[in-house]
Structures are given as structure tokens and as C-alpha cells.
Amino acid sequence: MSERPRYSIVAPVYNEEGNIQILYDRIREVMDSTGEPWELVMVNDGSRDRSQELMEKLAARDYRIKVVNFARNFGHQTAVTAGIDYASGNAVILIDADLQDPPEIILEMIERWKAGYDVVYAVRQERKGESWFKLFTAKLFYRVIYRITEVDIPMDTGDFRLMDEKVVGVLRQMREHNRFIRGMTSWVGFKQTPVYYVREERHWGVTKYPFKKMVRFGLDAVTGFSYFPLQIMIYVAAILGVLALLAIPIIAILRLAMGEGFFGGQATTIVLLLLLSSFQLFFLFIMGQYVARVYDEVRNRPLYVVASTENTNGLEKRVLPTPELTEKISRPHDAATTPIQKAPADVQGE
């Protein structure tokens, strides 16, 4: 059976053993109701529980289940990327494996897609069962991102979305390493529209986004789509400069009026020094964030390493990480110009 699926559902999986069966059941029910061919691409992002075993069992029974096993944990956004690479539908739907995104919404997305939209993104109207800290930071995060980024990234949307194959085709070419997929899809453009939904509680397990990963994710979003943090430095520098210039005559006048002792203490100097160096270090940190990401891109490592796959029918050949790498692999070194290739001959001669 190798009918091309019309819909590819992509789910990243990291230690979700308690969610896999029900995810499959709910998706199957929803997708079968469309009466059109579909596939479910599950990317196992280095899970250490029974996720892989459970997924492979499903794949053995249902050819529509594709499994991509990473060699280690590469992160949520990279897992989604691999899912997109391996998907072959006319429309690709990204969904979390923990059932926080109700699969039933997919039908609504498909309706909009058939009405001519290229990206249908789900907007969370309400979020259930998440800590006040997560709700607060998420709200703040989406508002800041919305203000400071150059492309319009809609507020309160996660990765839960449907994308037409033409958007997917562009996304596959965007091999940047620090990935913020929802921003990248907005960047692509075409006709985009929202659907609204209530984000459910996790069906099983705990969040795989501890605070550290959240911070990293936020920094990727900001540095990937905005130069604002680099640009505010000039304003802070200007304000501090003006303050310093104003302080000189003010201190001089006050000293003349109130006597030598005024403003003479070392305390002021120390406080100012601390303040200024903390500003400087903060901005150096921001610079560092951008520089580190430039370094990531320059190294141009593959985005992920696949250990094994199920039911993907040799698709892996199509998704070699970068054009350069593809070229390197398909074109062997010219023996005459490569000293390493000569060495064995020398050894043999002796």
C-alpha cells in the first residue's frame, strides 16, 4: 500500500509512553472520518521510556504510522523539523503528543485549508491544567515576541497548525539551527488564518519543558526574528551618556553651594560602577547570544541524526540535512588531489 497520503500528522515524542496509544486512537478516529488517506509521523526524540517500543508495535500493525528514531534528544523543535522532512502529505499538521491539542480541531483546519488557506494556526483561548507561572510567562512571552519581531507572529499560538505543501516546501529549505517553527511558518507568508480552541491538560506525564528549556526557546524566538535587543543598547548608552553629562554641572553646583563633603563619598562611585558594569555585562550577554547562534550556523552541522525508521519507505534519502552535505556525500574525493588517499599506496610500497 503506497497511496500518497493527503494528510500528514506530525507528532514529536519525548518520553510519552502513556500517551502513544490514545494519541493513535484519537487521531485514527478523527482522520478516518475524513475518508481520505493520511499518515501519522511520530518522531522519537531520544525517549528513554517505552515510547519507541510502543510506536514500533503500532507501526507494525498500521502502515500509516511512520516512526523516526533520533540517535539522542535533539529537542522539540528539531523533532518537529524531522517530522516535516519525512511527511509526504498535501497538508502537514503539527500536533503535540500529549493530547493538549485536541485532534478533533484538525477537521476544522482541513475545512479552512479546503477553503483556500495555506496555513491554519490554532490559537489557545484558554489553557487548562498549567501552573500560573507557565501561564504568566507564556502570556508575557507571546506579547513581547509580538512587539519586537519583524514578522507578525500571532499571539497565543503553539505549533499546532496545518500547513499546505507549498509552505512545507519552503520550511524544508530553512535549515537554521536555532529553530522557532511558529515564527518560521509566519515568515513564509501565503494565506494564513486562525482557528480557536481550548488547550487541554496533558493526558499523561509531566511537561518536558523545564525552565531552562523555556529560556532557551524564548532566546531562539527573539534572536531568530528580532534585532531589537541589539538595538536597545544604543538607547541605554545615550541615556547613560546624557545622565553623565548632566551630572557634572549639577555636582559642581551642589558642591559649591553645600561644601566639599557633598557627593564626595566612595559609596556613590561604587554603586555607579556596579550599575554600569552590570549594564555592560548584560549587553555583552546579548551580543554573545547572537554570536553563538552565528557560530551554530557557520559550523553547519546536520540538524539531527536518525538512528532508525519504520514505514518511511526510503524517504530518508530525500532529507539529507543540507545541499552542501548532500553534495559532499554524493561526490567522492578526487583521489589525485587528496593526500590522505595516497597514503595507503605509500604504505603498500614499503
**Nearest-angstrom CA–CA distance, 291 and 196:** 38
**9 vs 286 by CB, closer to ligand UDP:** 9
**127 vs 172 by CB, closer to Mg ion:** 127
Residue 85: helix, strand or coil by DSSP?
helix
State CA 66 to chain mean position distance: 21
Q: Which does 14 bind (CB under 5 to 8 A by kind): Mg ion, ligand UDP, none?
A: ligand UDP
Residue 241: helix, strand or coil by DSSP?
helix
Q: Which does 76 bind (CB under 5 to 8 A by kind): ligand UDP, Mg ion, none?
A: ligand UDP
Q: Per-residue DSSP letters for 287-307?
A: HHHHHHHHHHHHHT--S--EE
Q: Which does 79 bind (CB under 5 to 8 A by kind): Mg ion, ligand UDP, none?
A: ligand UDP
Q: Which does 73 bind (CB under 5 to 8 A by kind): Mg ion, ligand UDP, none?
A: ligand UDP
Helix axes 211-225, 76-86, angle to 10 degrees: 60
**133 vs 282 by CB, closer to ligand UDP:** 133
Q: Which does 262 bind (CB under 5 to 8 A by kind): ligand UDP, Mg ion, none?
A: none
**286 vs 319 by CB, closer to ligand UDP:** 319
Q: How far is the CB of 202 from Mg ion (least distance, A)?
A: 5
**Nearest-angstrom CA–CA distance, 236 and 309:** 52
**Residues at the contact surface with Mg ion, assessed by CB under 5 A:** 96, 98, 100
293 burial (CB, 10 Å; 0-12 / 13-18 / 19+) is: middle
Q: Which does 185 bind (CB under 5 to 8 A by kind): Mg ion, ligand UDP, none?
A: none
**72 vs 317 by CB, closer to ligand UDP:** 72
CA 124, 125, 129, 133 dihedral sign is positive
**204 vs 263 by CB, closer to ligand UDP:** 204
The vertex-88 CA angle with 15 and 94, nearest 5°, equals 45
**Nearest-angstrom CA–CA distance, 67 and 9:** 12
Q: How far is the CB of 213 from ligand UDP (least distance, A)?
A: 7
**66 vs 124 by CB, closer to Mg ion:** 124
**88 vs 100 by CB, closer to Mg ion:** 100
Q: Which does 12 bind (CB under 5 to 8 A by kind): ligand UDP, Mg ion, none?
A: ligand UDP
Taking alpha carbons only, the member of 27, 30, 29, 23 closest to residue 44 is 23
Helix axes 165-173, 181-188, angle to 10 degrees: 120
Q: How far is the CB of 17 from ligand UDP (least distance, A)?
A: 11
Q: How far is the CB of 215 from ligand UDP (least distance, A)?
A: 13
Q: CB of 24 within 8 A of CB of 56?
A: no
**Residues at the contact surface with ligand UDP, assessed by CB under 6 A:** 12-14, 16, 45, 73, 75-76, 79, 96-98, 100, 207-209
Q: How far is the CB of 43 from ligand UDP (least distance, A)?
A: 7
Q: How far is the CB of 280 from ligand UDP (least distance, A)?
A: 34
Q: How far is the CB of 97 from ligand UDP (least distance, A)?
A: 3
Q: How far is the CB of 35 from ligand UDP (least distance, A)?
A: 27
Q: Which does 55 bind (CB under 5 to 8 A by kind): ligand UDP, Mg ion, none?
A: none
Helix residue ranges per DSSP H, the chain: 20-32, 51-61, 76-86, 105-114, 132-148, 165-173, 181-188, 211-225, 228-258, 266-299, 323-330, 339-349
